[in-house]
Structure 1
Amino acid sequence: MSSSPYPRSHLPVDPAPAALARPRRSPDPPLPPETRLLLASDGSTTLLLESLLGFTMTVHVISQEAVDATAIPSGAREVLQLGDDSRAVRRLSELRAPDGRVVSRNLVAHPAAESPHLPDAADLTPLGLRLRALRFPQQHRSLLAHGLTHWDDAAHVPVCAFKEYVIRCADESRIYVRERFNPGLVPVSDAVGTSRPLPGKAT
């Protein structure tokens, strides 16, 4: 099993821009409409997920620490303009449903030299909602890539949807975010004959 917090490989629906390594196109069929909407949105992922799923989420921070830039993905280093000898703040977290189900697994990073934007690790409010609540200066999300990857790095795990983007703040600082979504809640298949209620809704 890989110890890296970044997935082994991914199969994006759309190729990533030049800032990231160009992956191969996915041979998979089109994603369900609500999943395409989630991946293509440049707004708050948390707000959209809560609207689609019908419940409020909290964040569980697995770790939040300053690391060498080489400890985060090369694509993230490039987007954040970090050299190999730089330092970054890396946050690994999960968005969770009220019943404890993991909705998404997230990697968040920003240069350690910049003003700290990430909430305290004990804060249960998702990052985007916390920044809004703090009236943080204007943010703009730029989508970097989206498509399919593995839910985790273990063998024989299901495929899931992912997206990665950078939050550009008014003070010109940047926050890199990569999110993987639980395929049991954010579907990746719309096969004929498969009963697929709206994720999180009662049947």
Structure 2
Amino acid sequence: MSTERSYHHGDLRRAVLTAALDVIAANGPAALSLRDLARRAGVSHAAPAHHFKDRPGLLTAIATEGYGLLSATLGEAKDLRDLGVRYVRFAVAHPAHFQVMFHPELLRPDDSELRAARERTRSMLRTAVEDHGDDPAIGFMAAWSMAHGFATLLLSHNLDGPDGPLDGRNPEETFGALAGVIFRPAGTPSTD
């Protein structure tokens, strides 16, 4: 009987992705090692390379999957405010994907699946901001910056705690209120 671990696994690709997401959620992308993931999956240390080739390949697969999940979440939005709330909801529900997706230095920039998934998501946001302001590019950057910044502050626990600005408030409702103040359809008067 051989003591070496087998390359065969029911769904090695999914097992490695799941283990990687657990590691990233707990310790960040820097803690990721294909050898450790193979050990966790109970396969030889070379087995994950058959699916991902290397660490950037694995992280690119995670980012691509994340953009798909984000697009599905955003696709159900009713308006720009809801789109931002759903962006924050995605970040909270998928913190490991969120950590990887927006770090291009970790990814293969020429990966066609990643580029297509990223563009689908960005296109949804661009379309949503077209009716908000005179310059859609500025609206796109403002909306994305606000949702991404809020989600990042939330995930890094800068908004919660006894002295945090959320002070027990629901993060999604708080973001929705914030977005309502910043983004109004063109021609809507301010309530200031």
Give the TM bin, normalised by the shorter chain.
under 0.3
Q: TM-score, normalising length from structure 2? A: 0.25
- Which structure has more helix as a fraction of its residues? 2
- Which structure has more strand as a fraction of its residues? 1
Of the two, which has the highest radius of gyration? 2
The structure showing larger relative contact order (alpha-carbon pairs under 8 Å, at least 6 residues apart) is 1
Q: TM-score, normalising length from structure 1? A: 0.24
